[in-house]
């Protein structure tokens, strides 16, 4: 009987302490509309502080029917890594309406990574860096 009471007490204490040991990650979200880029085509930027395991979601206005597409380049440390890239269709059922390109990054190691996104027509002679978005992520 005494053994069961001690065992039950240990299980109760362990169950109360367990949640404090679980690592939780934060989600950092960026959502930039076409209007945002039209108003500030060259000055869109963010700086983030993150911890290993945090997720960073970047949504940028995109309209592939115009021939433009987003590309990005990372410089600095390899503190973040891309987990996913997708396209969200526009809410309106209007031909030619803009949707959003969506990237999900994960903070994977300590360091500082700079990501420069450019919205361009990729072919020779096409418009380059019509819109840009820069983010600096410091992972501690």
Question: In this predicted structure, what is the pLDDT of residue 12?
Answer: 46
- The answer to whether 61 and 91 have CB atoms below 8 angstroms apart is no
pLDDT number for residue 11: 47
Task: Quote the pLDDT of residue 7.
Answer: 42
Instruction: Please state the φ and ψ torsions of residue 14, each to the nearest 5 degrees.
Output: -60, -40
Instruction: Please report, in tens digits, the pLDDT of each residue of the chain (140 residues total).
Output: 554 544 445 444 555 444 444 556 799 999 999 999 999 877 799 999 999 999 999 999 999 999 999 999 999 999 999 999 999 998 877 888 899 999 999 999 999 999 999 999 999 999 999 999 999 999 99
pLDDT of residue 136: 98
The pLDDT, as a whole number, for residue 19 is 46
List of E strands, 79-130: 80-88, 99-107, 111-120
Instruction: Give pTM, 2 decimals.
Output: 0.80
């Amino acid at each position: 009987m005494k053994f069961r009471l001690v065992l039950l007490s240990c299980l109760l204490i362990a169950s109360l302490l367990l949640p404090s040991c679980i690592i939780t990650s934060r989600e950092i979200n960026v959502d930039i509309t076409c209007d945002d880029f039209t108003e500030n085509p060259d000055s869109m930027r963010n700086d983030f502080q993150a911890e290993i395991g945090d997720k960073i979601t970047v949504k940028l206005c995109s309209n592939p029917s115009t021939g433009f597409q987003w590309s990005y380049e990372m410089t600095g440390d390899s503190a973040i890594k891309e987990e996913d890239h997708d396209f969200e269709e526009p809410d309106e059922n209007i031909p030619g309406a803009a949707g959003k390109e969506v990237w999900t990054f994960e903070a994977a190691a300590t360091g500082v990574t700079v990501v420069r996104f450019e919205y361009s027509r990729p072919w020779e002679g096409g418009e380059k860096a019509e819109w840009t978005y820069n983010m600096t992520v410091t992972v501690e």
